[in-house]
Structure 1
């Protein structure tokens, strides 16, 4: 399960980064903001999983 969540976090981060870059390229502020939000969501998920790993060992 943890591996699945870590992969999901990485996917959210990559998707957010791509969306942010696309938003900047076309000058769409909303898309840029959505991309940043998705990256933050991925970062939070990754931090949660790292914390769980720390207490697991």
Structure 2
């Protein structure tokens, strides 16, 4: 997994977790949902890189 893609995936996951927590704290359902979506994008990016790594070996 390339270092930059890995860090982007982790950053997106962290951003999503923070946004989801903030949304829950203030009672904003839209922000909570956006946080979950950001986490899903980070997970998808991470899975894509794992698949690419599996084919490189």
Give the 5 Å matches for 1:42-53.
42-53=42-53
Confirm or deny that 1:2 pairs with 2:2. yes
Number of equivalent positions: 57
> 5+ residue gaps in structure 1?
none
Q: TM-score, normalised by structure 1?
A: 0.95
CA RMSD of aligned residues (A): 1.1
Q: TM-score, normalised by structure 2?
A: 0.95
Cα deviations by residue, 1:9-53 (Å, 9 ceiling, x for unpaired): 000000000000000010000000000000000000000000011
In structure 2, what is the equivalent of residue 32 of structure 1?
A: 32
Per the alignment, in what secondary structure is the counterpart of residue 51 of structure 1? helix
> 5+ residue gaps in structure 2?
none
